Amino acid sequence: MSGTSEIAEPPSGSETVRRFRADQTAGLGEELRDLVRHGHLLQSLVVRDLTVRYKRSIIGFLWTMLHPLLLTLIFVLIFSAFFRFAIEHYAVYFLSAFLGWNFFAQSTSAAMSSIAWNGMLMKQVRAPRSIFPLSTTISGLVNLLLSMIPLLIIMRIQGIPIRPSILFLPVSFTLLAIFALGVSLALYSLAVFFVDVREMYIVLLSALMYLTPIIYPIEIVPEKFLWIVKMNPLRYLLETLRAPIYYGIIPPVRTLGISAGVAVFALVVGWLAFRRLSPRFYAHL
Amino acid sequence: MNAIEFHGIGVRHPLVHRRVPTLKEWLINRGATETVDNWFWALKDVSFSVEKGDTLGIVGGNGAGKSTLLRVAAGIITPSHGEAIVRGTLAPLIELGTGFDGELTGLENIYFNGALLGRTKAEITARMPYIVEFADIGAFIDAPLRTYSTGMVSRLAFSIATTIEPDILLLDEILSVGDATFKSKCADRIRSFRDQGTTILLVSHDLKALEDMCAKTLWIERGSVREYGPSAEVIERYLEESEAAAEASADVELPDFDTSDQESVEG
């Protein structure tokens, strides 16, 4: 049973002609053109994500920035109380990687949580199906950018110089976003079919967070567990954030190379899974 | 020129007898649950075409496949067999208000729904006064949608879908919502659309309205085309058969609840 799909012909005259038929699979090019055509919908989905979340709260958008700050406070207290490993400017050390982690964790799980509501939309109108996981990744990215503001403020307060290396961040964000989108596409496809994927993933996420050097430096990991932490692809992606922010350097070529490879690999796998499974979404929504 | 063509369209869904599927189960069964050999055919070999500017009525019993047919035309369901060709922009009104968000205001929802229907922000802004006026929801336009009554939500949805001027309009049981005033407003608007040359597919159980508005009617029965032709004839035969079926089922005797028997059990 091959996938089903549709092709849109270029408009003849002023008119769009759409053909919906069984025996074709949507190509990447067609999906991208379709996404561009639905630019306003993508924008609306992102705006909706960002506004609805805080609609009923008094300080609204400020939560996006307050949330990482409060978490930092907790971790700074725990870290200074329980660990003997001293890290200079721990708050910045922690935040520079944690904000990236937070983006990854939130956007990938939000992609799955949004299925119920998106399912209703998908039953009512036609839109490129990848628009929904794409929109959660983009709104996560907006939140990530906003959460950079309190980080910069902390850096100013602690007197850490903000170096030109910070201009490298757009590249780091892009790599992380590509990775998150790939994982979102794969998880979204799975979660449409299986209700327990989300629950499993949430558990997996909290384990993964402690297996990634975010709250602790990799140096304190005991030798025999080191391989687990080293195998974790997120380590490299988060390092591309920590290097320009905390260390004030452009990430090493090796880190960048692995990050880019992992990100592209995730996107390719995610897209292939999504393309294969998305024609069957409707029956399971 | 045809606005819509269906060539041997078939839509099948897996008949799911199992409980809520979990990944854990699937892994244990090594994907065995995915080999479905029990399919439900929501549509079977459906072929028809609608001329540009025509209004087509669609009748059939519950679960006959009317909404599935509209969803295939809208590109929401990809067919398992055959090919559907759709020429022109299309606005589906299949489940009223499903694209709305309770937390957003009426105004925000109009933009969001317009985007869902493929319109740009500027296009929606230009039509905003007409949408608001036709929906007739007054000051509620700036209130969150969760404070709206069901009728207000339906009016807003209908107003948006019809004000953005699609080439093809798909309407599923629209005439059955709203109060009498709004119903007649809807009917007027559908007629004016028809006069402007908009192609309309209209699913309704209101046979009188269908006969009145549609030149041709398609009768769907258990996923297949039963009849396709001039509304008056198709609807007459559909009515005859429905009445015959109703009489037949009325003849079936219902088992009596013997009250004395129950008393004796209780006693």
Helix (H) or strand (E) holding A246: none
Where b means 16+ CB within 10 Å and e means fewer, A101-123 reads bbbbbbbbbbbbebbeebbebbb
What pLDDT is recorded for position A25?
64
The one-letter code for the residue type at B21 is: P
Q: Is B147 exposed, middle or buried (0-12, 13-18, 19+ CB in 10 A)?
A: exposed
Which chain A positions have a beta carbon within 8 Å of B82's beta carbon? 21-22
- B120 CB neighbour count, 10 Å cutoff: 14
Count the residues in chain A. 285
User: End-to-end distance of chain B based on CA atoms, in angstroms?
Assistant: 75
Which chain A positions have a beta carbon within 8 Å of B20's beta carbon? 195
User: Alpha-carbon distance A41 to A107, whole Å?
Assistant: 18
pLDDT in tens, A173-188: 999 999 999 999 999 9
Confidence of residue A24 (pLDDT cuts 50, 70, 90): low
Provide the token pair at A36: 């561009």
Confidence of residue B32 (pLDDT cuts 50, 70, 90): low
User: Alpha-carbon distance B203 to B191, whole Å?
Assistant: 15
Q: Given a cut of 70, is residue B260 above it in pLDDT?
A: no
* 8 Å CB contact of B78 and A20: yes
Which chain B positions have a beta carbon within 8 Å of A193's beta carbon? 21, 23, 26
The one-letter code for the residue type at B171 is: L
- B206 CB neighbour count, 10 Å cutoff: 18
* 8 Å CB contact of A37 and B23: no
Residue of B nearest to A120 (CA): B98
- Please write down the HEC assignment for all residues of A162-202: CCHHHHHHHHHHHHHHHHHHHHHHHHHHHHHHCCCHHHHHH
| Option in B13, B24, B116 nearest A125 (CB) | B116
Give the predicted TM-score (pTM) of the model. 0.83
Residue of B nearest to A129 (CA): B76
Would you give the DSSP letter of residue B258? -
Count the residues in chain B. 267
User: ipTM of this predicted complex?
Assistant: 0.76
What pLDDT is recorded for position A11?
41
Which chain B positions have a beta carbon within 8 Å of A6's beta carbon? 75, 78
Residue of A nearest to B75 (CA): A126
* 8 Å CB contact of A282 and B22: no
Q: Tell me which of B14 and B18 has the higher pLDDT.
A: B14
Task: Name beta bridge partners: B10.
Answer: B81
CA-based nearest residue to A95, from A163, A147, A168, A156: A147
Residues 6+ apart with CB under 8 A from B188: none
Confidence of residue A18 (pLDDT cuts 50, 70, 90): confident
- A148 CB neighbour count, 10 Å cutoff: 19
Which chain A positions have a beta carbon within 8 Å of B166's beta carbon? none
* 8 Å CB contact of B115 and A18: no
Average pLDDT of every residue of chain B: 83
Residue of A nearest to B172 (CA): A124
Q: Given a cut of 90, is residue A100 above it in pLDDT?
A: yes
Q: Give the DSSP letter string of A19-79.
A: EEETT----HHHHHHHHHHTHHHHHHHHHHHHHHTTTTSSSTTHHHHHHHHHHHHHHHHHH
How many helices (H) and strands (E) are present in chain A, helices listed first?
A: 11, 2
What pLDDT is recorded for position B38?
73
Residues 6+ apart with CB under 8 A from B243: none
Average pLDDT of every residue of chain A: 85
Q: Give the DSSP letter string of B36-66.
A: ---EEEEEEEEEEEEETT-EEEEE--TTSSH
